[in-house]
A = this chain, B = another copy of it.
Amino acid sequence: MNFLEEKICKEGVVRAGNVLKVDAFLNHRLDMELLDQMGEEFFRRFQGKGINKILTIEASGIAIACATARFFRVPVVFAKKSKSINLDADLLVAEVESFTHKTKNQVVVSKKFLSADDKVLIIDDFLANGCALQGLISIVKASGGSVAGIGIAIEKGFQVGGKTIRNLGYPLESLAIVDGMDAETGEIVFRTQEDEKNEVVG
């Protein structure tokens, strides 16, 4: 197990409905040492690709993006969520559907902060069905820039998002891929990555 998988086993909580709560260290309380480790690991995986900007989405992606940007020495841009905004020629907009909340939201980035010269590393905390991520990719494409990498903290491997994005040829790296969870036992199954072995932790 890598450092993030260990942390998930130690402090994450599995709830009914395939919910994995990581609010103790990733999206409510923030463990700064863990974030540093994550930033360093994303740097290890994506360095040398000419990345000059990191794009994430408010709110939970911001801390991870900042921790990663320190290693790359590049700025972060965070996309904003908006219920509905007037069409503004200065904005890059993507419509994102939330399966959890059954609502449609707009995700917006100012055109000033993404351009055709940009090689963008997209960072986010969770990848499940992938709607938010698809929105961020479409925004980078609309800016004329390129997606040089996608770094996710926790991927729900049993949902379709990761597979779709990999099928489309994007360089997607998830620090932990959860292939299964059991709310009754608390068991979490992580997908084996690189030289790791598949492990089941109760």
**Which A positions have Cβ atoms within 8 angstroms of B?**
23-24, 28-32, 35, 58-59, 62-63, 66-67, 69-70, 73-78, 80, 109-110, 112-113
Q: How many copies does the complex hold?
A: 2
Most buried by B among A23, A24, A66, A67: A66
Q: Please give, as numbers and ranges, the residues of chain B lying within 8 Å of A113 by CB-CB distance.
A: 23-24, 28-29
The one of B23, B58, B67, B75 in contact with A58, judged by C-beta atoms closer than 8 angstroms, is B58
Given A23-B110, A112-B24: A29 and B76 interface contact (C-beta under 8 Å): yes
Asked if B69 contacts A66 (CB within 8 A), the reply is no
Contact across chains for A30 and B63 when beta carbons are under 8 A apart:
no
A59 is contacted by which of B28, B73, B78, B112 (Cβ under 8 Å)? Answer: B78
